[in-house]
Amino acid sequence: MPGTGTFQVEVSHVSRHGLWLLIGDEELFLPFEHFPWFKAATIEQVSAVERPTVDHLYWPLLDIDLAVQSIRDPASFPLVSRHATRANTPAR
């Protein structure tokens, strides 16, 4: 049976602009502008963050994986999801 993970991460604050993560002794801000997947998430979903490796974060309730480096330098990771628009929303 695997042991308990030693890589620590926790959500330290959530505001209407984004969320702050405490990763070890470093605090990082995830603005919703760059990380829109979290904007409509519940506190429960956002708080259930795991750090399987030193460079990887995972939110199992949202099925979101992020490299820690993508938070430190979002400009180097330009792929951002597009929300559904009328043009790409299936007809009902």
DSSP 20-86: EEEETTEEEEEETTT-GGGTT--HHHHH--EEEETTEEEETTTTEEEEHHHHH-GGG----PPPP-G
Which pLDDT tens digit goes with each residue over 18-70? 999 999 889 999 999 989 999 999 999 999 999 999 999 999 999 999 999 99
Domain CATH number, residue 35: 3.30.2020
For residue 63, what are the domain limits? Answer: 9-82
Considering the entire predicted model, what is its pTM? 0.75
Q: How many domains does the chain have?
A: 1
Better-scored residue on pLDDT, 75 or 92: 75
Between CA 39 and CA 55 the distance in angstroms is 23
Please check the confidence at residue 2 and state whether its pLDDT lies above 80.
Answer: no
Better-scored residue on pLDDT, 45 or 75: 45
Q: Is 1 within a domain? A: no
Better-scored residue on pLDDT, 3 or 40: 40
**Structure confidence at residue 51 (pLDDT):** 94
Q: Is 26 within a domain? A: yes
Q: Is 92 within a domain? A: no
Q: Is 2 within a domain? A: no
Which amino acid is located at 29 in the chain? F
